[in-house]
Amino acid sequence: MTVMTLEKQLIKETFFEGERPLFACENTTLEKVRFYPGESALKHSKHMTANECEFMGKYPFWHSEDVVLENSVFTVYGRAAIWYTHNMLMRNCQVDAPKMFRKVSHLKVENTVFSSAGETLWWCDNVTLNTVKLKGADYVFMHGENIEIDDMNMQGNYSFQEAKNVVIRNSYLDSKDAFWESENVTVYDSVIEGEYLGWHSKNLRLVNCTIRGEQPFCYAENLVLENCIMGEDTELGFEYSTVEADIQSHVMSIKNPKGGYIRALSVGEIIIDQHCINPGACVIDVEE
């Protein structure tokens, strides 16, 4: 049996504008193509490669499949660019628009900068990120599932809300209210800054991490900290949480944990008051 392979057509060094100029385009390579203002330039496209392209219109890749984006730019006008799309690789790109990915599956992003990343990566699944920077990234990764991240630098609040099955390595997160109501999240060898970390989470596990910010880990279920360091401002932590924590630093204060154990080098204040749900159920072991 002979298997025929369709060669991709090439579109090079030109521009398009207006609505749907390449609607349902298939098996095509775009090189140094500019998409001026308009909408849905490549909607329903399949088997596409775009290299050194510039996207200045909204919604270019909606309902697309099998897309490779390399060395390309999405300007501030290219907002909400990639929704309802499956099987995409983005490499060496610059994204200056918010709401970049929504309901996207099997996505891989490498060496890419998002300068205005608000509301990016909502309801996305099977996502891999390597060497990425996200700025202005409020509400990113909301409702995401099956996400693997290595070497991410992120600034933005309310990240990973209600996310599930997430692994993060070698990263820096500056994020208030991170991991709220998340489930099955593990973070390795990273720094997390921002108050109210991990509230209402289930199975949040931090390994070799540095944690900074007040009132972390409240209302958490099955929280695990392994060989972690807590900053000087991490006061009033662990309220109403079940926890297994081995902390290699001083902890400013612990308040009304619900169960488990907390081991630390030292603790400034342990607060067990009349509002504690299970007095004595959490063993607090201080080395000093």
Whether 40 and 21 have beta carbons less than 8 Å apart is answered as no
- Which pLDDT band, with edges at 50, 70 and 90, does 7 fall under? confident
2, pLDDT greater than 60: no
- Of the CA atoms within 13 Å of residue 51, those in its CB half-sphere come to 7
How far CA 125 is from CA of 147, 155, 166, 172, in Å, comes to 7, 22, 10, 22
What's the mean pLDDT when you consider all of the chain? 95
Residue type, 60: P
Structure tokens at 27: 């098996």
Q: In whole angstroms, give the CA distance from residue 193 to residue 197.
A: 8
Residue type, 232: E
DSSP for 195-217, please give it: SSTTTT-EEEEEES-EEESSS-S
pTM for the whole structure: 0.94
Q: In whole angstroms, give the CA distance from residue 226 to residue 206.
A: 6
pLDDT attached to residue 156: 98
Whether 61 and 85 have beta carbons less than 8 Å apart is answered as yes
DSSP for 51-119, please give it: ES-EE-SB-TEES-EEEEEES-EE-TT--S-EES-EEEEEES-EE-SS--EES-EEEEEEEEEESS-TT
- Of the CA atoms within 13 Å of residue 244, those in its CB half-sphere come to 8
How far CA 181 is from CA of 159, 160, 215, 280, in Å, comes to 11, 9, 16, 26
List of residues 6+ apart from 206 with CB closer than 8 A: 186, 187, 190, 192, 224, 225, 226, 228
Domain boundaries, the chain: 68-286
β-strand partners of 99: none
For 21-39, the pLDDT digits (tens) are 999 999 999 999 999 999 9
Mean pLDDT of all residues in 173-187? 98
Structure tokens at 149: 């991240």
For 194-225, the pLDDT digits (tens) are 999 999 999 999 999 999 999 999 999 999 99
